[in-house]
Structure 1
Amino acid sequence: MTFPAMMAALWRFMRPYKKVLFAAGVALVFTAGVTLAIGQGVRLLVDKGFVANSSEALSHAVLVIIGLALLMAIGTYTRFYLVSWIGERVVADLRKAVFDHIVTLHPSYFETNRSGEIMSRLTTDTTLLQHIVGTSFSMALRSALMFVGALILLLFTNIKLSLIVLVGVPLVLLPIVLYGRRVRKLSKASQDSIADVGSYAGEIIQHIKTVQSYTREGYEKQAFGKEVETAFGVAKRRIRQRALLIALVILLMFGAVSGLLWVGGNDMIAGRMTAGDLAAFVFYAIMMGSAVATISEVYGELQRATGATERLVDLLNVQAEIPAASEHVQSQEVGPMASAQVAFEGVEFSYPSRPDQLAIRGLNLMVAAGKSLALVGPSGAGKSTLLELLQRFYDPLRGRITLGGIDIREMDTATLRKQIAVVPQQPALFTNDVWYNIRYGKPDASDAEVIAAAKAAHAHEFIEQLPDGYSSHLGEQGTRLSGGQKQRIAIARAILKDPKILLLDEATSALDAESEYHVQQALEALMQNRTTIIIAHRLATILHADSIAVLDQGQLVAQGRHAELVTTSPLYKRLAELQFRDSEGQKPVLE
């Protein structure tokens, strides 16, 4: 991505603040003009004060310089405040836009992109842009204005010296252009390597118990050290290029100024120009040199910003395969309970990361409204995949899934998902208090409703024993709770949502025997008159389901009640024999 392309990408975030941009531009031009005017004050100071030996003229020149300095201070304050405000505002809007887009992306995107890298783009890259937009870009514009203004005043002051400057300028700009490309590539590589470091650290911290359990601390320290050193190596190459660029510019700039002093000094000695003109010329030449030096230094920062912007734009340009809200499709509301019938009709599906391996093969399955269906089968049979398809995290390759006879692809995804509550095998809890986590599916629920749901899920008792009760924070991903407690919080969340369709994915797997009994009672009450799909490996928890579907390798191989399947389905019979008592009354085999 080139610098103009970067600015074009950022312009849509700057456009709403055109008035502030205009005011900042006025302040920028005003400040540059006042700074350049100081050169004329220096000329007056030398010619009218020092050379003419006039105390009055000297005082007048000093007052002019002080007045100009005061105006420059006011203009600089205004410019700095407005530009910094724009930088903070644009980056805040950009962060929101990126996050708003991320939460609508298809789950397959997160299968191939690490969360740590995405977080790096959302935090590190946007922070870099804030510095660029709020500081470096302003400095670059100011320096460009100073360069042009100083060049024009040089031409008015002395044509011959100005021609020397014009010849020298390309020599100074040449290394900026040549090294800028290298800096841009290294800047993007540096941002990517920083993202790798953050991603690796995030994964280790997330699985810290596993790391310590397997005593892999030493290995992870060494592996993380390699990631850090790799990032440092890339940064070192980038810094070397920038340092070389700055050194070349400084050398060329002071060489040019020295040459100007030699030529101008000879002209002054010969009487071809006044001491004031030479002082003003040197002032403008130094201003030009400083402007070029600033641009060369900021240029590296702008290249880093270009890399960061490219990464963010790439993320914003990722198309959501299944939009959260379809503008072109009229939202279909699910009607009365009679319409909460779920049907899979000739469904075939493979995950995007495994396109050649079908997870579901020509499956036909129907769940009547208000009835329960249990899905059983070995691991990899496609049970969890059906729940993901029903929530429309993915669309089937062939066939269709209907709710009340309506193809769910013709429904607004938000409308569809509002009808569904899920209790997964690994409940997802947020870094917040109990109120927030239970209310997640129904934010407007009253405290009494939350407590009633917790009681129904047999969670109220242990919640009351937490340090701050329902106001207790649960830690990251609910780390302050046991597995069974997390599960009951998730069940309470589903109970509170009061859905028409209930999806239970091993919902009682993390509970002890007593808690499982009570929660099973709560779930049975919750399942009344609701279309329920249950995934269970422990067959004892689904004996009372209205129907049991046996899946194997993505296909429906049998369906019926428990007693029927034991005699008609060899696969189900084998699963049952592994778990239930045999004819001699032995205890069930543990999973």
Structure 2
Amino acid sequence: MEPLLTVIFVVNMNTVWEKVMSTLRAQIFGRILIQKVEFFDKYKVGELTGLLTSDLGSLKDIVSENVSRDRGFRALSEVIGTIFILFSLSPQLAPLLGILMLTVSVSVAVYKRSTFPVFKAHGLAQASIADCVSETFSAIRTVRSFGGEKRQMFTFAKQVLSFQSSGIKLGTFKSFNESMTRVAVYISLISLYCLGGNKVKAGELSVGAMASFIGYTFTLTFAVQGLVNTFGDLRGAFAAVDRINSVLSGVQVDDSLAYGLERELRQQKAVDDEKYKLFFSNSSTEKNQMHYMSALKTSSNLFSLAWSGDVCLEDVYFSYPLRPDVEILRGLNLKLNCGTVTALVGSSGAGKSTIVQLLARFYEPARGCITVAGEDVRTFDKSEWARVVSIVNQEPVLFSVSVGENIAYGLPDENVSKEDVIKAAKAANAHDFIISLPQGYDTLVGERGGLLSGGQRESP
């Protein structure tokens, strides 16, 4: 019966936890995605990747370990049940054994508290490796053009050695913890033999009761060891949670972006799409309430304003959030007339790229405003603004999906038809080379478009 109940318990707990982790991972990803751009200036890609993969993965593994093995709730249940049986067998010996095991367990738990910084340092070292790998391989052409392979090797070796050092230190702490747990078991058994032997010799305890007591003591020691291991796992879990909180605490949600995203996801959820339901919290006081809320109101005439009105920068002051003491723009006034082409020319560092980033609303002016047809652009949510602003970067960026999906990425509707994709490709003079690819519009472009030539990447 016990094996069957174990299977039922483990399967159900694992299913519940997998669903919880999927929702948690999706909501943290969504939370990060709607931060202001300066958030991504502050944190490296590897750090954010590690947060969503290794940190959350370690939480999942810890829970799985404590559900499927003699740890956690099962160990606690065994401890309580065994103590009850031991008190029934010998009310004289059980309290002494309980006090002894409690004392040793508390000592082990106190020792484990000192391991928290070690767990945290190990996680940070792992994130540094992920960041180095991501940075190197994403810029492999730059590395190759400057002959930077040796430099990247040394950088990676430094991160690996740091991870190795923290891993050795963590292993040392774990070995001491295992030794202390075994010492607790041996001390408990030796004390039991001494005290129990005297009880049997004095006729206060039968040999059979003593044998049963010893057997249940073994059960208790293994259960206590399971609990101690659970406390050790919790150290790692707390370290992972601390790293997650250190990233997410104090961040600023881009309310203007969040408002439009909330509206669009609500519409998707209305068609019962399982992917989008992950980003909603069912425990909210309002049904289907999302975490991304703001008080902004959208404007239904944004497209007409953008097509017919001038864009003006009025007395704009701006400093990058991570460099607040360096003022990039000081009282800038600029008018971009509707229906004309305006070129910004200036020396390096004059603020040309900054103006483009302000127009794209990656950042907001510290003072002054940007208007379109006299309307402050901050009155529009950023999802709508992105529909009327087109940006062609010097370095084309492609996602690891098909050619057709990359073209559709820039169109307003996620459910765009293939005819619309082909129409856009023809407008960019890309249709002919696309249909010559092995799978045409369904051809995968590889990471960052690595399977296409430079000219082909620029066309879509």
Alpha-carbon offset, residue 402 of structure 1: 1.1
The aligned amino acid for 2:75 is S
| Structure 2 CA distance for aligned equivalents of residues 207 and 153 of structure 1 | 65
Matches within 5 A, 1:20-419: 70=1, 72-136=2-66, 139-323=71-255, 324-326=257-259, 327-333=294-300, 334-336=302-304, 339-419=308-388
| Structure 1 CA distance for aligned equivalents of residues 312 and 296 of structure 2 | 21
Alpha-carbon offset, residue 476 of structure 1: 0.7
Q: Which of 477, 481, 484 is residue 455 of structure 2 equivalent to?
A: 484
| Structure 1 CA distance for aligned equivalents of residues 147 and 367 of structure 2 | 47
Q: Does the 8 Å CA contact 2:430/2:459 hold for their aligned counterparts?
A: yes
**Who wins on radius of gyration, i.e. which is larger?**
1
| Structure 2 CA distance for aligned equivalents of residues 170 and 76 of structure 1 | 28
Alpha-carbon offset, residue 200 of structure 1: 0.9
The aligned amino acid for 1:131 is D
The aligned amino acid for 1:331 is T
Alpha-carbon offset, residue 477 of structure 1: 0.6
| Structure 2 CA distance for aligned equivalents of residues 269 and 277 of structure 1 | 13
Q: Give the match's secondary structure for 1:444.
A: coil
Alpha-carbon offset, residue 264 of structure 1: 2.4
Alpha-carbon offset, residue 117 of structure 1: 1.0
Q: Does the 8 Å CA contact 2:39/2:251 hold for their aligned counterparts?
A: no
| Structure 1 CA distance for aligned equivalents of residues 154 and 334 of structure 2 | 51
**Aligned counterpart, 1:432:** 401
Q: Give the match's secondary structure for 2:115.
A: helix
Alpha-carbon offset, residue 421 of structure 1: 1.7
The aligned amino acid for 1:101 is R
| Structure 1 CA distance for aligned equivalents of residues 357 and 329 of structure 2 | 12
Work out which structure has the larger RCO, using CA pairs closer than 8 Å and 6 or more positions apart in sequence.
2
**Aligned counterpart, 2:287:** none
C-alpha offsets along residues 543-562 of structure 1, whole Å, 9 cap, x if unaligned? xxxxxxxxxxxxxxxxxxxx
Q: Does the 8 Å CA contact 1:83/1:133 hold for their aligned counterparts?
A: no
Alpha-carbon offset, residue 247 of structure 1: 0.7
| Structure 1 CA distance for aligned equivalents of residues 327 and 253 of structure 2 | 19
The aligned amino acid for 1:480 is L
Q: Does the 8 Å CA contact 1:341/1:403 hold for their aligned counterparts?
A: yes
Q: Does the 8 Å CA contact 1:340/1:369 hold for their aligned counterparts?
A: yes
Return 434-443 or 146-155, whichever deviates more: 146-155
C-alpha offsets along residues 446-477 of structure 1, whole Å, 9 cap, x if unaligned? 22221121111111122122222111111111
C-alpha offsets along residues 475-506 of structure 1, whole Å, 9 cap, x if unaligned? 111112222222211xxxxxxxxxxxxxxxxx
| Structure 1 CA distance for aligned equivalents of residues 197 and 14 of structure 2 | 42
C-alpha offsets along residues 86-139 of structure 1, whole Å, 9 cap, x if unaligned? 322222111101111121111111212110111011100111000122332672
The structure-2 alpha-carbon separation of the partners of 1:321 and 1:159, relative to structure 1 and needing over 3 Å to count, comes to: closer
Alpha-carbon offset, residue 193 of structure 1: 0.6
- Equivalent pairs counted in the alignment come to 419
The structure-2 alpha-carbon separation of the partners of 1:342 and 1:197, relative to structure 1 and needing over 3 Å to count, comes to: same
Alpha-carbon offset, residue 266 of structure 1: 4.2
Q: Does the 8 Å CA contact 1:348/1:363 hold for their aligned counterparts?
A: yes
**Aligned counterpart, 1:33:** none
Return 152-161 or 261-270, whichever deviates more: 261-270
The aligned amino acid for 2:242 is E
C-alpha offsets along residues 286-319 of structure 1, whole Å, 9 cap, x if unaligned? 1221122112222222101101011123333343
Q: Give the match's secondary structure for 1:421.
A: coil
2:446 is the alignment partner of 1:475: yes
2:421 is the alignment partner of 1:453: no
Matches within 5 A, 1:494-505: none
Q: Does the 8 Å CA contact 2:83/2:94 hold for their aligned counterparts?
A: yes
Q: Does the 8 Å CA contact 1:172/1:253 hold for their aligned counterparts?
A: no
C-alpha offsets along residues 42-96 of structure 1, whole Å, 9 cap, x if unaligned? xxxxxxxxxxxxxxxxxxxxxxxxxxxx2x2222112211222232222211110
Q: Does the 8 Å CA contact 1:140/1:294 hold for their aligned counterparts?
A: yes
| Structure 1 CA distance for aligned equivalents of residues 399 and 187 of structure 2 | 62
Q: Give the match's secondary structure for 1:423.
A: coil
| Structure 2 CA distance for aligned equivalents of residues 457 and 164 of structure 1 | 83
Provide structure 2 residue ranges, at least 5 long, that are not aligned to the other structure.
260-293
Alpha-carbon offset, residue 273 of structure 1: 2.6
**Aligned counterpart, 1:519:** none
Q: Does the 8 Å CA contact 2:370/2:377 hold for their aligned counterparts?
A: yes
Q: Does the 8 Å CA contact 1:84/1:135 hold for their aligned counterparts?
A: no
| Structure 1 CA distance for aligned equivalents of residues 151 and 357 of structure 2 | 36
| Structure 2 CA distance for aligned equivalents of residues 179 and 90 of structure 1 | 31
Q: Give the match's secondary structure for 2:394.
A: coil
Q: Give the match's secondary structure for 1:320.
A: coil
Q: Does the 8 Å CA contact 1:151/1:162 hold for their aligned counterparts?
A: yes
C-alpha offsets along residues 3-51 of structure 1, whole Å, 9 cap, x if unaligned? xxxxxxxxxxxxxxxxxxxxxxxxxxxxxxxxxxxxxxxxxxxxxxxxx
C-alpha offsets along residues 207-248 of structure 1, whole Å, 9 cap, x if unaligned? 223333444433432332221111111121111112111111
C-alpha offsets along residues 319-365 of structure 1, whole Å, 9 cap, x if unaligned? 33532134312112315256543111111111112222222221112
